[in-house]
A = this chain, B = another copy of it.
Amino acid sequence: MRLADLTHVFSEDFPLFPGAPPTSRTTAVTVQADGFYAQQWTLSEHACTHMDAPAHFVAGGRTTPQLRLSELVAPVVVIDIARRAAGDPDTVVTPNDLRAFERRYGRIPRNAVVCMHSGWQARIGSTESYRNADAQQVMHFPGFGKAAVDWLLTRRSIRGIGVDTLSLDPGNSKTFDSHVTVLKANRYGIENLRGLKAIPARGATIYLGVIPWRGGSGGPCRAFASW
């Protein structure tokens, strides 16, 4: 069995969506002074590689502990739009991308997690580059278009969508249509994935080890794949 990590190191300098409370850590005890070492963290549920649960956008929607374990282990497919994104940071995944994927790799399986690989993880070392905001503070990075999310929900009955960027929607979205569409359908999203290019486009299994945060709107998640 081959394994690949899809998770960034959880750190205080990881780029956040604007407005999210900052991440911080302190050393609580040390081996030298106390005999053992531990840190304490303060974090937003939407820091680093994390899940968006339905409750993130839907009042009364399911929180993280309410997702069934069987929803967190799923077939995964990777839609690669990195070449297009390199020239147009506002590009989105479209139904045409999904149809082209299926012609090449075969049908997207039922209950799959469908991930966008945009190449954005190369920018992770710089919040400025990862957010890619213009002078008006409008961000420019790729995401899922609403039409693709509708297509996946109605025609392929997916479990969720994942991205290697800060948001399921493109950075310039003001209405968060892909968030709203996938979360209102009682499915989930995963943001800030990495390593999607290292797994097969189709045929791997994704494991979403999200901590079952009480009342969670989602939250930090260890994502990996096997095939």
Contacts and interface: CB of A to CB of B under 8 A. Distances in A.
Interface of A: 1, 3-5, 7-12, 20-21, 25, 28, 31-32, 35-46, 48, 55-59, 65, 69-70, 72-73, 176, 179, 207-222, 224, 226
A35 B226 CA distance: 36
B73 A226 contact: yes
16 contacts: A1-B73, A5-B69, A5-B212, A10-B212, A10-B216, A12-B214, A35-B176, A36-B176, A36-B179, A38-B46, A40-B45, A73-B226, A209-B224, A210-B222, A211-B220, A211-B221
Chain A at the B interface: mostly helix, strand, loop or mixed? Answer: mixed
Contacts of A40: 21, 42-45
Contacts of A36: 56-57, 176, 179, 217
Nearest to A12: B214
A212 B50 CA distance: 12
Given A36-B179, A221-B222, 14 more contacts: A3-B73, A9-B212, A10-B211, A21-B40, A25-B214, A35-B176, A36-B56, A36-B176, A38-B46, A40-B44, A207-B209, A211-B211, A211-B221, A222-B222
Given A44-B28, A207-B209, A212-B10, A37 B57 contact: yes
Nearest to A220: B211
Given A42-B42, A57-B31, A59-B31, A217 B37 contact: yes
Q: Which of A40, A42, A43 has the most CB of B within 10 A?
A: A40
A151 B139 CA distance: 57
A115 to B, nearest CB: 17
Shortest Cβ-Cβ A-B pairs, 4 listed: A209-B209, A209-B222, A11-B214, A31-B59
Contacts of A211: 7, 10, 48, 211, 220-222
